[in-house]
Amino acid sequence: MARAFAEITFTPAVLAEQERQGTAGNYARFLSPEAAPADAIGPAEADFIARRDGFFQATVGENGWPYVQFRGGPEGFLKVLDEKTLAYADFRGNRQYMSVGNLRADGRVSLILVDYPNRRRLKVWGEARIVDIEEDPELIAGLHDRSYRAKPERAIVITVAALDWNCPQHLPQRFTLEELEPALAPLRAELERLRAENAELRRDAAAGAG
Over residues 114-142, the pLDDT tens digits come to 999 999 999 999 999 999 999 999 999 99
Is residue 43, in this structure, part of any structural domain at all?
yes
Cα 50 to Cα 204: distance, rounded to the nearest angstrom: 54
In a domain, 80, yes or no: yes
What pLDDT, on the 0 to 100 scale, is given for residue 74? Answer: 93
Residue 74 CB contacts under 8 Å (≥ 6 apart), including other chains: 53, 145, 147, 148
Q: What pTM did the predictor assign? A: 0.85
* Same domain for 32 and 130: no
Rounded CA-CA distance 57/124 in Å is: 9
Question: What pLDDT sits at residue 115?
Answer: 95
Number of H helices, E strands in the chain: 7, 7
Residue type, 11: T
> What are 180-202's pLDDT values in tens digits?
888 888 989 999 999 999 998 98
124 and 189 in a single domain? The answer is: no
Total domains present in the chain: 3
Quick one: pLDDT band at residue 34, thresholds 50, 70, 90?
confident
Q: Identify the band that residue 1 occupies on the pLDDT scale cut at 50, 70 and 90.
A: low
Q: Which domain holds residue 26?
A: 1-36
Asked whether residue 16 is domain-assigned, the answer is yes
My answer on whether 116 and 208 are in the same domain is no
Indicate whether 20 and 78 sit together in one domain.
no
Helix, strand, coil shares of the chain, percent, nearest 5, are 40, 30, 30
Specify whether 46 is located in the same domain as 23. Answer: no
